[in-house]
Structures are given as C-alpha cells and as structure tokens.
Copies of this chain bind each other. A is one copy, B any other.
Amino acid sequence: MNRLLPVSSPAPASDDTPNHDGPGRKPTIVREDLIAAALRLIGPHRSVSTLSLREVAREAGIAPNSFYRQFHDMDELAVALIDLAGESLRRIVGDARKRAVSGRSIVRGSLETFMERLRADDKLLHVMLREGTVGSDAFKRAVDRQLLFFEEELRADLVRIAAAQGIAFHEPGLVARAITRLVFAMGGTALDLPPERDAALVDDLSHMIRMLLRGAHAMGRKHARDA
C-alpha cells in the first residue's frame, strides 16, 4: 500500500481537476485518488459502509466503470481504507511510545499524541475510530485485524516495560486488548466533543489505564507467589 497518500492535504476537489475518462483517453486515476475521494465523502454523519461506487467515482471525477480498474468493488476500497487508517494510527502511537521513557509518561504521552492527531483532522484516524460494527463481513474483519495488530504491539511493549522494571503483568495480552478497546471507544466519542474536553478525557483514560496496569501488576505478583 502506498504510504504517500496526501491525507493532511487532500487532492483538490474534482471540479478543479476533471479526470475525463472517455474512450481513447488514458485514465490518470490511481487507487489513492479513489481513497482520497471516499475520505472526503465520509464524516461524522456518514459511515464508509454507506458510500456507493457511483458517488465515489463522481467525487474522484471518473466514470463509474473506471472504478473497476482500481478496486473490485466498494467493499475492497473500504477494506483498503481501514488498512491504511490502522497503519497510520499504529505509526503515530508507536512513535509516541518510542519517545517516552517511564511507564506513566508512555501512557500519558501516547494519549496526548493520539488526541493531537485527532484534532489535526486526520481523517484516516477518524475512520478507524468512528466505524463501528456495521458493514460487510470483509469490512468488519479488516477493522478487527487492525485492532489485533494494535493490541499485539501494545502487548509486546507491556512485556518489555515490565521486564525493564523487574515486574510481571498478569495476562499482558488481555491488558493490551482492554486498553486498545477503551481508547478506541472513548476516542470515538471524543470526536463529537469540543476540544476543551480533551484534557479531561486524557486524564480519565490515563486513570483507567493505570487502574488496569495496577490490577494486572497485583494479579501478576499473586500469581508468582502462588506458583
């Protein structure tokens, strides 16, 4: 997948760049143009699973038939969009985690980066947070796969941090899953709140995550004693 998709500076509106695609003309459209067109159409009141091929083609300035040169159907485009959104999110949070050093600053630093990106109108991130559990099976599997990648990276991080501090977390995989699901669920609602509420949300989330880590640590200690 091309990582150079200009998400923060989307392609100009189709009116400015008519991509006429009649017989005899070479189509200039690429997959990224169609993904960018879909991103412009979706938003707080519009889910990716409700987009029609015709609409996306119109937004991209091509004939509906030309769509098929890039994607088999709308479902394949939706899956590509989710994959791209998941990649983008993992890169952002991964960078934040690498910069942080102690356990507490990792949590807070990652959450703050996350909220900054949310407010920077990163539409790929919005897609990842807003899209619920309605859509085709392929689409839902794509969302789930991205969540699993995210959980696995977080789990590896938790194990690494615990080892560095000479402690052990009980079931780090479950801790990672709980954190991922919480951040996604609460992040999705944050999009509809005014930015003034962000600091309180980061506070709430880091509190919840600390409770989880504290509990996992206590249960890990008990487990080690019992063994």
Contact = CB atoms under 8 A, between A and B. Distances in A.
B210 A219 contact: yes
A208 B178 contact: yes
A74 to B, nearest CB: 13
A178 B174 CA distance: 14
A211 B208 contact: no
Nearest to A184: B185
Nearest to A216: B211
A177 to B, nearest CB: 7
A191 B131 contact: no
Contacts of A215: 210-216, 218
Contacts of A113: none
B45 A189 contact: no
A40 interface: no
Contact of A181 (B49, B134, B182, B219): B182
Contacts of A46: 134
Interface of A: 44-47, 49-50, 129-137, 140, 144, 170-171, 174-175, 177-178, 181-182, 184-186, 188-189, 191-192, 204, 207-208, 210-216, 218-219
11 contacts: A45-B49, A45-B135, A50-B50, A133-B188, A140-B189, A171-B207, A174-B204, A174-B208, A178-B212, A210-B215, A214-B219
